[in-house]
């Protein structure tokens, strides 16, 4: 059985790989290669990395071997491929990524493929291909919430630590309300909505 070559990272190499993973403008393919090496350096086997990153075992082995022989330059560099080189895309790709992630259009919250194409003087399909290749979806928004508690990190460590390493014979229970679900007291369940009838509730209904 073939044994995968060991991956050993210097401090500078690990810092650079982690920077690629964290940076929003990094290309998706470069992020995946960086994650392969970080996991390999932590002792993961190729089949484990492949499952974790949803890659083929062959691809994982390829990037592991290339790093061992060529270092980080071999990971960054694309090997020559047959066929016509897409020179226009190569030139404008970085500009499209920068515009998409760091700027917004006038009178709009985000770029559409049409507005960005018009702004840069390229085709709409070019913008779409670059977005797809780099995992960019400017029309989608995720909500998030940050705590302003100065002791948030300390409290977080305490709670997570309790789950990861609970005291002997202890039962850890977490209780919290569901977003947009009210705590209501009812003596009987409400009747379901049907055609011709409104929602119902008992006379002794109580809202907490």
Give Cβ neighbours of residue 129 (< 8 Å, ≥ 6 apart): 89
pLDDT at position 177: 60
Characterize the bridge pairing of strands 184-185 and 206-207. antiparallel
Q: CA geometry: angle at 55 spanning 49 and 57, to 5°?
A: 65
Q: How far apart are CA 43 and CA 3, in angstroms?
A: 13
The sign of the torsion formed by the CA atoms of 88, 94, 100, 104 equals: negative
The pTM of this model reads 0.40
The residues of the chain scoring below 50 in pLDDT are 193-197
Q: How far apart are CA 47 and CA 37, in angstroms?
A: 13
The sign of the torsion formed by the CA atoms of 43, 164, 11, 133 equals: positive
Q: Which H or E run contains 164? A: helix 152-164
pLDDT at position 39: 93
* Helical axes 11-22 vs 57-76, angle rounded to 10°: 100
Q: How far apart are CA 130 and CA 134, in angstroms?
A: 6
pLDDT at position 36: 92
pLDDT at position 194: 44
């Amino acid at each position: 059985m073939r044994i995968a070559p060991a991956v050993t990272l210097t401090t500078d190499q690990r810092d650079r790989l982690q920077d690629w993973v964290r940076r929003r403008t990094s290309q998706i393919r470069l992020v995946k290669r960086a994650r392969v090496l970080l996991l390999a350096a932590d002792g993961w086997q190729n089949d484990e990395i492949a499952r974790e990153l949803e890659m083929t075992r062959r691809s994982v082995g390829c990037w592991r071997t290339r790093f061992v022989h060529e270092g980080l330059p071999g990971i960054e560099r694309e090997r020559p491929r047959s066929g016509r080189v897409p020179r226009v895309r190569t030139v404008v790709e970085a500009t499209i990524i920068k515009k998409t992630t760091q700027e917004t259009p006038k009178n709009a919250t985000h770029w559409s493929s049409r507005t960005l194409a018009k702004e840069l003087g390229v085709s709409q399909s070019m913008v779409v291909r670059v977005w797809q290749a780099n995992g960019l979806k400017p029309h989608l928004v995720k909500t998030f919430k940050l705590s302003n508690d100065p002791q948030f990190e300390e409290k977080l460590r305490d709670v997570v630590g309790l789950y990861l390493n609970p005291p002997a014979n202890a039962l850890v229970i977490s209780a919290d309300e569901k977003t947009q679900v009210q705590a209501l007291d009812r003596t009987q369940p409400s009747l379901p909505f049907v055609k011709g009838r409104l929602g119902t509730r008992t006379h002794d209904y109580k809202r907490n």
